[in-house]
């Protein structure tokens, strides 16, 4: 991420949103496609890769550890992998930028390779908890060292020394986290024997699907509501051709925009609807959102549809906390929908939101209040009394705290405000959705850079 002065952003809508747009590739799948391709022997090809800063950080790290990764002019990526066990010693620190997924998954890979890697990140990532991967990966034999004099030994920068051969473990996830699950499974790839993760609450299963697709021996058993995932190392991965579906988390922004701008009627094409990711659409429909799934199909082994979305009168909701893992990144934009819905929404069980790119409970509460919404912050969520479709006052400047989803959520909220909201910095949007602003303009929103900061 650049250290240039903050670039404010204002979006407004003077007419209904209309048209068809395609969302960029799924961030979670893009990271995994690069990592597994870099560990296969031979040439893999990836189409539809998200070319956001987070994924480019993963690409740079895999190159630094020996993979050859190239992008052709038509946007296809080609990766020559080094083989499981073949990662090379990086010559410099691995800069993970803003990306928690790159950091935690790559720590898993390094943990069982003969590699010593130092991970660094931006101010947001350097505050995020790494203890959740340090704990299982240390049990597998990896050693983690903080910088001399560091106040916290569980945040970046951290040096990781892998162990070969690593020790297989059986690990029950203490938090519902696909990143922790994936870190352990990726470490298991180069660990002799069976590494097992027990998941009390299902989280996104892209790692499991893709590891199998690359030929790893991986089984998933369901017992008493838990998922037991076992991977056999030392695996040999065969190169693949991967087509990355559109990101359902990114699609949430144009979808909610169309729901809250009166008269809108749009289609968002190519949206991945893996059941472990599609909670937002379930909840919005339960609130009364007019969303139809068109042309349902499979892309790269994942269910995908085009979403037709019409402006809707929404009702407040109290989602069951069991839906949280399938929409953990979508709460900021759901809060915006709730702020404009009829009646009260009670959104609880969201403690994980406090350790995302920002404390998304506190930051959303503060911003929503600043633009005139009625919001009460509780330890594990927000209670929001919606306007019933009346526009919010807007007018305020909101702080994004290096968090792409906060920036996009308030850019969308601005479309339903009497005076536009100034998002203090649009730069973080490039981590996951580099075409967000032109896409919103394509639907009819107007964009201005706002006052200089
Ligand atoms: C991700 C898992 C989630 C999610 C993140 C991407 C992944 O994080 O918030 O944006 O690709 O595995 P947690 O595992 O911390 O819930």
Confirm or reject: Cβ of 328 under 6 Å from ligand 1.
yes
**Residue pair 431/1 in contact by the 8 Å Cβ criterion:** yes
| Same domain for 381 and 362 | yes
Q: How far is CA 176 from CA 119, 200, 226, 376, in A?
A: 23, 8, 11, 25
| Same domain for 184 and 213 | yes
Q: What is the pTM of this model?
A: 0.97
Q: How far is CA 368 from CA 234, 280, 385, in A?
A: 50, 19, 11
| Same domain for 140 and 274 | no
Report residue 55: phi and psi, to 5°.
Answer: -70, -35
| Same domain for 346 and 404 | yes
pLDDT of residue 148: 86
Inside any domain, residue 453? no
* Ligand 1 mean position, distance from CA 54 (Å): 12
CATH of the domain at 398: 3.65.10.10
Label the pairing between strands 265-272 and 18-22: parallel
345 appears as a binding residue in the annotation: no
Residue 352 tokens, joined: 């994980």
| Same domain for 254 and 109 | no
Inside any domain, residue 254? yes
| Same domain for 306 and 193 | no
| Same domain for 200 and 76 | yes
| Same domain for 426 and 399 | yes
pLDDT of residue 451: 47
Inside any domain, residue 311? yes
Inside any domain, residue 1? no
pLDDT of residue 1: 46
* Ligand 1 mean position, distance from CA 265 (Å): 31
Catalytic hit among 329, 403, 424, 425: 329
Phi/psi zone of residue 113: left (φ > 0), alpha (ψ -120 to 50 degrees), beta? beta
**Among the three residues 238, 267, 287, which one is the final residue of a domain in this structure?**
238
pLDDT of residue 259: 98
| Same domain for 411 and 265 | yes
Confirm or reject: Cβ of 207 under 6 Å from ligand 1.
no
What span, in angstroms and rounded, lies between the C-alpha atoms of 434 and 58? 16
- The residue whose CA is least distant from atom 5 of ligand 1 is 101
**Residue 146 lies in domain:** 27-238
* Ligand 1 mean position, distance from CA 178 (Å): 6
**Residue pair 263/309 in contact by the 8 Å Cβ criterion:** no
What span, in angstroms and rounded, lies between the C-alpha atoms of 226 and 254? 34
Inside any domain, residue 87? yes
| Same domain for 31 and 21 | no
Confirm or reject: Cβ of 409 under 6 Å from ligand 1.
no
pLDDT of residue 151: 86
Inside any domain, residue 283? yes
Inside any domain, residue 4? no
- The SS3 assignment for 176 reads coil
Inside any domain, residue 2? no
The verdict on whether 385 is a catalytic residue reads: no
**Among the three residues 189, 214, 238, which one is the final residue of a domain in this structure?**
238
- The residue whose CA is least distant from atom 15 of ligand 1 is 177
**Among the three residues 176, 205, 238, which one is the final residue of a domain in this structure?**
238
Domain count, the chain: 2
pLDDT tens, per residue, the chain with 453 residues: 445 788 999 999 999 999 999 999 999 999 999 999 999 999 999 999 999 999 999 999 999 999 999 999 999 999 999 999 999 999 999 999 999 999 999 999 999 999 999 999 999 999 999 999 999 999 999 999 998 888 889 999 999 999 999 999 999 999 999 999 999 999 999 999 999 999 999 999 999 999 999 999 999 999 998 999 999 999 999 999 999 999 999 999 999 999 999 999 999 999 999 999 999 999 999 999 999 999 999 988 889 999 999 999 999 999 999 999 999 999 999 999 999 999 999 999 999 999 999 999 999 999 999 999 999 999 999 999 999 999 999 999 999 999 999 999 999 999 999 999 999 999 999 999 999 999 999 999 999 865 443
100 appears as a binding residue in the annotation: yes
Neighbouring C-beta atoms of residue 386, cutoff 10 Å: 23
| Same domain for 364 and 257 | yes
| Same domain for 404 and 387 | yes
* Ligand 1 mean position, distance from CA 409 (Å): 18
Neighbouring C-beta atoms of residue 355, cutoff 10 Å: 16
Q: Which residue has the tokens 């340090």?
A: 134
């Amino acid at each position: 991420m650049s250290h240039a002065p903050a670039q404010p952003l204002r979006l407004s809508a003077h007419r209904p949103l209309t048209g068809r747009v395609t969302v960029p590739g799924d961030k979670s799948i893009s990271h995994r496609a690069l990592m597994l391709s870099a560990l296969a022997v031979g040439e893999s090809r990836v189409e539809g890769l998200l070319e956001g800063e987070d994924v480019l950080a993963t690409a740079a790290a895999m190159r630094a550890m020996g993979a050859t990764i190239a992008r052709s002019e038509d946007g296809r990526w080609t990766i020559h992998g080094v083989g499981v066990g073949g990662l090379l010693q990086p010559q410099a620190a691995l800069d993970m930028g803003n990306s928690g997924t790159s950091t935690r998954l790559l720590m898993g890979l390094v943990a069982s390779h003969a590699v010593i890697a130092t991970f660094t990140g931006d101010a947001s990532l350097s505050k995020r908890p790494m203890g959740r991967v340090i704990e299982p990966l240390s049990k597998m034999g990896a050693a983690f060292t903080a910088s001399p004099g560091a106040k916290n030994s569980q945040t970046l920068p951290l040096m990781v020394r892998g162990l070969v051969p690593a020790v297989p473990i059986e690990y029950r996830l203490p938090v519902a986290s696909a990143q922790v699950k994936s870190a352990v499974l990726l470490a298991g790839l180069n660990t002799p024997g069976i590494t097992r993760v027990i998941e009390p609450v299902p989280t996104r299963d892209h790692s499991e699907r893709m590891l199998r697709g690359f030929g790893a021996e991986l089984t998933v058993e369901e017992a008493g509501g838990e998922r037991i995932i076992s991977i056999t190392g030392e695996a040999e991965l065969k190169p693949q051709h991967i087509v990355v579906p559109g990101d359902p988390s990114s699609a949430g922004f144009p979808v909610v925009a169309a729901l809250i701008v009166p008269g809108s009627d749009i289609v968002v094409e190519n949206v991945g609807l893996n059941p472990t990711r599609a909670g937002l659409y379930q909840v919005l429909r339960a609130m009364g959102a007019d969303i139809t799934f068109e042309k349902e199909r499979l892309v790269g082994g994942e269910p995908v549809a085009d979403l037709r979305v019409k402006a809707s009168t929404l009702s407040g909701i109290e989602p069951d906390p069991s839906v949280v893992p399938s929409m953990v990144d979508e709460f900021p934009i759901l809060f915006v929908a709730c702020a404009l819905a009829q009646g009260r929404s009670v959104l609880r069980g969201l403690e994980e939101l406090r350790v995302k790119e920002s404390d998304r409970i506190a930051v959303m509460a503060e911003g929503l209040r600043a633009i005139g919404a009625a919001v009460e912050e509780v330890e594990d969520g927000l209670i929001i009394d919606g306007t019933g479709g009346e526009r919010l006052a807007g007018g305020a400047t909101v702080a994004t705290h290096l968090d792409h989803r906060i920036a996009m959520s308030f850019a969308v909220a601005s479309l339903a405000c009497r005076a536009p909201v100034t998002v203090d910095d649009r730069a973080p949007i490039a981590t996951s959705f580099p075409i967000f602003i032109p896409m919103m303009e394509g639907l009819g929103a107007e964009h201005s850079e706002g006052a200089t900061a």
